[in-house]
Amino acid sequence: MPKQKRTQSEVCDLEHSNTHQHFRKKGDLSSKPQKHHWKNPRKGAKYEASTEISGHEVDPIFSGHPKSIHIVSSPSPIRQALLSWYATVQTNRGMPWRKPYNPDLGAKERAQRAYEVWVSEVMLQQTQVTTVIPYYNAWMKKFPTVAHLAKSSVDEVNALWKGLGYYSRGRRLLDAAQIIIRDYQGKLPDNAKEMEANIPGIGRYSAGAISSIAYGERVPVLDGNVHRLLSRFLALHALPKSKATLDTLWAAATAMVKDEVNDMDHPGDINQALIELGSTICKIRNPSCSDCPLNAWCGAYNKPKRQQLVPDIEDLCTLCEPLTEEQNGVTAYPMKVKKRKARIEVDAVSVIEWRSVDDRQFLLVRRPDNGLLAGLYEFPATSLDSNHILNGPGLAFQQLLDVVEDSVTSYNEEFPRGFQREYSGGSEYHMVDVVPIGNVLHTFSHIKKTYLAQWVVIEGGIKPPQLKCSPGQPELNHEECRTSRNALWLSISEITKAKRQQNLETFPDNGGAGV
């Protein structure tokens, strides 16, 4: 039997399925609410588009529209308006890493600018400008060049990073600095492609920001602020992290720095202007559209003023999801998606104190070099899951065995504290008390963590128990240290001094307040 040829309306149904539009010959939908007659410019026939989806009325203009509205085709006047605005606000927020472009800088000076921009960009990830400024100033005072950073230790880096969050960022800076010294003569690569490929922790956005600002390379940026800005500018209502969406936004960002340019348009200024505009004007909530220098070209802002767009079939956008009546205004863009729920975790934490007549010291262990809070010190903690039974003294004793070389007698709940030593079995050190001290809830970006804390007291000896892998133990070989968690004892005075010193280094102008 020969294959039956599809009618024109069936063809339209198939081609428009991705935009949830159902085109049929006029008269096929007699009972559907609110029809809009669109004329197919290729065939001259009229078709009706249903605007009801899942019980919501759909915007008939932007549910079927030409994909060409998502392209920046004439960036020159847009760019000039953007740069004129940026010149008036460039110094408003007092960011020490933001400096006027100087074309007369030599290779060494440009590499130093690249280092400054790099540090600021890493610090600004998931962190507000006002929070970053004092940390940046403290960082540049201690590590003014890549060489100074490369010679430091992860503990020095973490001490300066304390309170900034996402500690793996600081460690990646250190690792990358050592690579730059070893492979690039102490200078960051002068192009985004090589920077992204060979420097750990630098992705496409950071490479574009550093290369355009410091080296004048015409490469785009797309951070969260620019993503939101361009989604609204292009009226792009699509899954924000899909490859097709990101390709569209990167193409628009590229057009802003590459197309119809002249030598006076510094790419670093263009990119910083886009970032600044997204951060201060095109905000997530309550954007200041009337103050935006690009509002004359903004697709989301001018949407109510547009006439119905009649796309050619071949130019029909298949990327955008339709908008409902509830999704009105500029803030409908970018498309909202449900956030993944933070996972729930529970840790048992033992605050282990060794106590003598005139001294008190606390045990800290170092976290693994990868993962959450990588490389930081903490009180001994054990993740609790279905395989663990919460047992205060027993769990604390196991945590001690993981890091302590000397023998310690476990706590016996059958005897009061004063009798613990009599049942010590001859050990010099005795766990004499284990007291629950409460629970602490801390929410990370992707984890809700509950810490079940207990206070553990050890007595005996004239100094704390010897640790398996404490710093400065030459008698232990590397393999032993590698398989044990690095640990140390700290006195109350050392903890207080370290805390005070960190506060003063990070916030010198306010005496350390705010950490």
* Set 48, 116, 121, 459: catalytic member: 121
Give the amino acid at 400: L
Please say if 326 is a catalytic residue: no
User: Closest Cα partner for 203 from 179, 219, 225, 216?
Assistant: 219
- 159 SS3 class: helix
CA distance 164 to 168: 11
CA distance 202 to 192: 9
Q: Over the range 423-438, which residues count as b (16 or more CB within 10 Å of their CB) and which as e?
A: ebeebebbbbbbeeee
Of the chain, the end-to-end C-alpha distance in Å amounts to 79
- 285 SS3 class: coil
CA distance 360 to 354: 6
**Bridging pattern class, strands 447-459 and 343-355:** parallel
Instruction: Confirm if 51 and 34 have CB atoms less than 8 A apart.
Output: yes
The residue whose two tokens read 């080296």 is 215
Give the amino acid at 457: V
CA distance 332 to 235: 9
Instruction: Confirm if 241 and 264 have CB atoms less than 8 A apart.
Output: no
* Active site amino acids: 121
